[in-house]
Amino acid sequence: MAFAAVAGLGAVDGGYFPGDWGLATLAFTLVAASAVLIADLPRPGRLELAFLGGLAALALLALLSTAWSPGATGQVLEAERGLLYVAAAAAAILLLSFRDAFAALLGGILAGAVAVSLYALGTRLFPGDVGGAYDPSSGYQLAEPLGYWNALGILTALALLLAGALAAHGGGLATRVLASASLVVLLPTLYFTFSRASIVVGICAVVAYLVIARPRGGLGGVIALLVVRRLIRRR
C-alpha cells in the first residue's frame, strides 16, 4: 500500500490536482475497510484517534468555511483533500496493527520514492523516451513526475534519511543491502533538483533522527564524520 501510494500519486503530479483525490480516497478507504473485515484488530490508541480526529476536524473546518467565504469551490476542494488525508491515515493506522507491518510500511515508502526518482533521472538520461521530449528552456532542474523540483527534492531528502536508517538498522541483510543501494538513485536525484529547501529539510530530518533515535556509533558516527569532512573541504 505504501509503495502504491507514493509511486501512484507521484506519477500523477504528486496528487496535486483534485481529479486524482477521489480515486485515492476510495483506494485508502477500501484498504482500511478490508483490514477491519479480515482481521480482529485492536482498538486504536488515544494518540492515533487524536491524530485522525485532528485531520477530520481540519477537513470539516474547510467545509464549514463555505458559509462565510465569497466562493465555495476552493473550500469544498480543500475539504475533499482533507478527506483524503483522513482515509490515508486510517488505512496506515489499521495496517500498522499487523505484525511486522511497520517495516513493510517504511520499505514501501522508500521503494516508492526510489521509483519516482528513477523516473526523474530517466527524463534526463533518456530524453524523449521517458517523460516526453525535453525542453531545455524549462530549466535543468529535475521535477518530473511531481512537476515541481522542490516537491521532488523534499521527497528524495526524506527518502535518503529513511534509506540511511534502514541500511543501519534494517532487520535483515537483504533490507540493509537494498536500502544502501537506493542511495545510488536518491543522491543524484536530490542533487539535480538543485532545491535549497530540500537541503534544509534533509538537515532538519537528520537532526531529528539523531535526537530521537540516538544511534550508538554506526550511523550517528558516519553522519558526524561526513559533516566534519564537508566543513574541512569548505575551509
Domain spans of the chain, in order of start: 2-95, 113-234
In total, the chain counts a number of residues equal to 235
CA angle 134, 136, 139 (to 5 degrees): 110
Quick: pLDDT tens for 86-104: 999 999 999 888 877 888 8
**What's the average model confidence in pLDDT over 45-64?**
92
Lookup: cell for 87: 482515509
* Model pLDDT, residue 43: 81
What count of Cα atoms within 13 Å lies in the side-chain half-sphere of residue 13? 7
5 pLDDT tier (thresholds 50, 70, 90): very high
Does the pLDDT at position 23 exceed 80? yes
Q: What is the rounded distance in angstroms from the CA atom of residue 71 to the CA atom of residue 172?
A: 54
Quick: pLDDT tens for 167-218: 877 778 888 889 989 989 998 999 899 888 888 888 888 788 777 776 655 5
Q: Classify residue 126 by its DSSP letter.
A: S
- Biggest distance spanned by C-alpha atoms of the chain: 61
Q: Classify residue 4 by its DSSP letter.
A: H
pTM passes above 0.85: no
Q: What is the rounded distance in angstroms from the CA atom of residue 173 to the CA atom of residue 179?
A: 10
